[in-house]
Structure 1
Amino acid sequence: MTQNLVAVRPPISDSWRRSRRAGVDAGVRAAPLVFDRDVLADARVAHPLDPHLPLLEGLLRHVADETEHLMVITDDAGHVLWTQGPRAVRRAADAIGLTEGFRWSEDAVGTNGIGLALATGRPEYVYAAEHVAHVLHRWSCAGAPITDPDSGQVIGCIDVSATVEALHPATVALVAAAARLAESRLENEMRQRDERLRERLLPHLRGLREGGVLVTATGRIIGAAPGEPDLAGWRGRRVPAPECGATITLPDGRAAVAESLGGAFLLRPPAVRPRRGAAPRAPDAAPDDGPVLPAGEGPLLTLSFLGDGRPHARLDGGPLTLTLRHAEILALLALHPRGLTGDRLALCLYGDDGSPSTVRPEIHRLRQQFGDVVRARPYRLDCAVEADFLTLRRLLDDGDVAGAVRIYTGELLPGSDAPAVRAERDELAVRVRRQALDRGGADALWTYAQTEPGRADLEALERLRAVLPPGDSRLPAVASRSDRLLNGDA
């Protein structure tokens, strides 16, 4: 007597092998819980799909509400953030942890529609006994990953699950369509952000004789200075995510240096000498290796004042060496674009002991470096300004926690004792910490914990320790640092 053997589909057999290597037990009774209620709320608010949830729910509502189907949306790690479906199927799903706060990656519960889609990066379905866990053999599911068009990374999965009898094979096409719709909405948002960046930054690049390429923080090319090759062939191309001062290879093989413009980067040719008429440099200034704008067009001043490093400034790409006092003056003028009187600037710098006569010599020395960019009556900056601390403030005002903690490399001019700088520094530090704790989610908290203030922030570390799922590679470092602080060893 021969036994009929059913061939196992390759995606399923591959998933079985990954599940086996991860040590998943076929007798597992439910997915693990990773988020409590407070952490779940933070994760939802921080996720890029949160604004688009009504659209996805509306698209799938007739499926999930009128049949025995459950709609599930997860993040990139398979953590369930939202579910929708009739009460009966939700009760059955609760028994196996197919609900908010539980993890459905392959290494947590074995082969399943969510974990498989996240592992392969394409729409997948899993029927009945194709699941590793025996408890899931009465379930079938179809999942489709959602890719962020900005970063190119998978940010989540949309899944429809049901009992074996209820799930139709066409469901995989439905979830795939829902995922593409979500991606199209994310792409529209991305294009709007790109257009705002181009409107704000491209006017300042028109005079760059040696050219330059404008890219997003994720490395997408969105514009260029005149003189660059036609960008038609570069649209949609990526370079490695830039860091300030790093050398990046452009698509045509040229090397370029990344310069932060606040929310974007300029990739410009290295070691470009200034033309005649550039603003004079102080004798001890670093060599100028950046182009300048021609006369009659407003220059661009870029300030990098966050963190423990030396305050850094560039005027039209050319680096300038700053004393702490000059950095303080530039920070205050950037924070007050309408200008400050001599009395007010003295008060901001020195408190009640200051006077305009103390400020005037400093302004004179500053103008030796910056020329007419620094104006008087009132003291102000007559140029476009991009500053990391101003960008940080905008991100905080917009509620962009992920962007704020990413740019917050440390406190504003930490060596400064100028009263107004101290006040701004303290306000930014408090706002970053509060938003990271209240709305940040695991990734934002981890990024904050790498800053100098965050490394010694016990509350942030304990929250991060609770948020990170079991097995996360970051967990041992967080636990060790938290324990040292608790024991007074840090």
Structure 2
Amino acid sequence: MGGEEVRQAPRPIVSESWQRSLAAQIDPENRTPPVVYRPDDLPGIRESHPLNAVMPLLRDTLVSIADAAMHVMLVTDAEGHILWRDGATRLLVDADRVGLFPGTHWSEDAIGTNAMGTTLAVDAPVQIHSAEHLVRAYHAWTCVAAPVHDPDTGAILGAIDISGPLHTAHPALVQLVSATAQLAENQLRVRLAIADERLRVRNMPHLASLRGAAGALVTPTGRILAGEPYGWWPERITLEEGSDRVMLANGREMLVEPLAEGYLLRTPGPGSSSTPVERPSTALSLRFMGDGAPSVLLNGRPIPLTLRPAEILTALALHPEGLTAEQLALLLYGDDGNQTTVRGEIHRLRALIGADVLRTRPYRLAATVDSDFGAVRQALKAGRAEAALRACSGSLLPRSDAPEIREVRDEIVAGLRRAVLDADDPVLLHTFAGHPLGLTDLEVHDRLVELLPAGDPRRPVVVSRWARLLAE
């Protein structure tokens, strides 16, 4: 570049980067990169960037090393803007002089060959040493960078970089920065798995509402989270913007219905040749079994609830066709029920979950409802005792005296108990014997003592409990 001959050609990754940089009309005599973001802009930009979640990890892993070795750690976004900087305080003044500070743009077409810009250009770890930098101002620096990818889409989120004076170069820096980028991706992958599970739980009522027909829950980016039948679905589908249909690799066409978050795929039914059937976009999850407080999730958001509104929601979930104030008063309070009291309770409940979810005339839930008591009843009806027991964590609203609740509570206990006894399965009986509903059931323990062989390790505990029940 200076017009003199060199004994050795630059590395291919460097010469190719020089060519891209010169094609972008970067001047090797250029002093500093462009400043894109003001200091006041950075806090909001950082907070909304995906890499913000892994900054504690990056600081724990790299900053102490960078500080001791007279380096700075830099983290960019996918376009090459530096968003974060940490490291040796004595070096920050020198870094400021050459534009290595947050808000500056370090892509190849902004400042030429450099580790951050080149790693984003080639999507691989890169070390740029001394005169390998296109711009002469950085010949006194050595830099190592590696890209970080989105575990959902695979797209580059940004780059992690360690930069320092020429004399601080160390061959292990490439491995260190690459390993740290992989650690960041792994942490992002764990966070994605947690978010996926929450999204799946929040939206399973939509899938369950298909009642066994083929369907799938899809993330906003097109990944399949859950589907029926199992094994039918690809890992990901491509969703065309504005399209209400998608063709699977097996040749089946599916309707695409937008949900509050993500999409529901379902098979076209009769009369579905044009527009998908309107479906509730609200998912309401009720967990009312067991000794804990009633738990409600509205599109994944917890709703604080006391016993009385939980009783109303139970009654409405059991009667999806809707109930009048008179019917609801009878179910909750018996013959002494007061419609005025019911209307007041409904008014307070609508303030909690929204008037668009709890409709009137008649009172009904305009949502896809997923309830633990509903799952138990459905499994019992289908003859699946194991699934029913797995879904049941205890009695339905055990503190409730509402006639409707008492009736369903007794129905579930009796039905579950009979299903377990009829199955005559030692594993199922043992599980039920340790369940809150079966701990004091003498008949269950009688049957279990008969079925468990003498050498079974479970037998001593069961026999002890059985003897205590007999004594009582």
The TM-score bracket by the shorter chain reads 0.5 to 0.7
Which of the residues 165, 188, 191 maps onto 2:190? 188
- Aligned match for 2:264, one of 263, 266, 272: 266
Question: Deviations along 1:374-394, whole A, 9 cap, x unmatched?
Answer: 8646634254279xxxxxxxx
Compute the displacement of 1:14 (Å): 1.4
Distance 1:128 1:20 in 2: 18
Give the aligned partner of residue 280 of structure 2.
Answer: 301
Secondary structure (helix, strand or coil) at the match of 2:281 reads strand
- 8 A Cα contact 1:78 1:103, kept in partner: yes
How far apart, in 2, do the equivalents of 1:128 and 1:287 lie? 64
Q: How far does the alpha carbon of each residue in 1:126-172 deviate from its partner, in whole angstroms, 9 at most, with x for none?
A: 11111110111111101011111123211111000111211212211
Q: Whose RCO is larger (CA < 8 A, sep 6+)? A: 1
1:69·1:167 contact (CA, 8 Å) conserved in 2?
no
What's 1:31 paired with?
A: 33
Deviations 1:167-199 (A, max 9, x none): 212211111111111111111111111111221
Matches within 5 A, 1:79-228: 79-206=81-208, 207-208=210-211, 210-225=213-228, 227=229
Q: Are the structure 2 counterparts of residues 287 and 219 from structure 1 closer, same or farther at C-alpha, using a change threshold of 3 Å?
A: closer
**Residue type at the aligned position of 2:22:** R
Cα displacement (A) at 1:87: 2.1
Query: Aligned to 1:37, what secondary structure does the other structure show?
Result: coil
Change (3 A) 1:202 1:7: same
User: Does the Cα contact within 8 Å between 2:257 and 2:276 map onto a contact in 1?
Assistant: no
Letter in 2 for 1:381: L
1:78 equivalent in structure 2: 80
Q: Distance in 1 between matches of 2:71 and 2:265?
A: 50
Q: Deviations over 1:300-327 (max 9, x none)?
A: 5138xxxxxxxxxxxxxxxxxxxxxxxx
Q: Percent identity?
A: 40
Q: Could you tell me which amino acid in structure 2 is paired with residue 224 of structure 1?
A: G
CA offset digits 1:29-64 (Å, max 9, x no partner): 011111101111111111112132121101012221
What one-letter code is carried by the residue in structure 2 that aligns with 1:129? A
CA contact (8 A) 1:272 1:290 kept: no
TM-score by length of 1: 0.56
Partner of 1:168, secondary structure, is coil
Q: Residue 237 of structure 2 is aligned with which of 236, 239, 244? A: 239
Distance in 2 separating the partners of 1:383 and 1:100:
46
* Residues 34 and 103, structure 1, Cα contact 8 Å, conserved in 2: yes
What SS class does the counterpart of residue 165 from structure 1 fall into? helix
In our comparison, the structure showing a higher alpha carbon Rg is 2
Q: Any idea what the Cα deviations from partners look like across 1:275-319, whole Å, max 9, x if unmatched?
A: xxxxxxxxxxx8786589xxxxxxx5138xxxxxxxxxxxxxxxx
The question of 1:250 aligning with 2:248 is answered: yes
Once the two structures are superposed, the pairs formed by residues 390-409 of structure 1 within 5 Å of their partners are none
Unpaired stretches in structure 1, ≥5 consecutive residues:
275-285, 293-299, 304-336, 343-372, 387-490
Against the structure 1 CA distance between its residues 268 and 223, is the aligned structure 2 distance closer, same or farther, given a 3 Å change threshold? Answer: same
RMSD between superposed Cα atoms in Å: 3.2
1:381 and 2:365 aligned: yes
SS in 2 for 1:30: coil
Contact 1:273 1:289 in 2 (8 A): no
- Aligned residue for 1:487? none
The separation in 2 between residues aligned to 1:4 and 1:22, in whole angstroms, is 24
> Does the CA-based 8 Å contact 1:273-1:291 persist in structure 2?
no
1:22 to partner: Cα distance:
0.9
Query: Shift of residue 76 of structure 1?
Result: 0.8
Give per-residue Cα distances to partners, 1:410-452, cap 9 Å, x unaligned: xxxxxxxxxxxxxxxxxxxxxxxxxxxxxxxxxxxxxxxxxxx
**Taking structure 1 as reference, are residues 61 and 144 closer, same or farther at Cα in structure 2, changes over 3 Å only?**
same
AA aligned opposite 1:259: E
Q: TM-score, normalised on structure 2?
A: 0.58
Q: Deviations over 1:208-249 (max 9, x none)?
A: 554122211011121112x35345xx3xx3222454544333
Does the aligned pair in 1 maintain the 2:280–2:366 contact within 8 Å? no
Find the aligned partners of 2:160 and 2:97 in 1 and give their Cα distance. 20
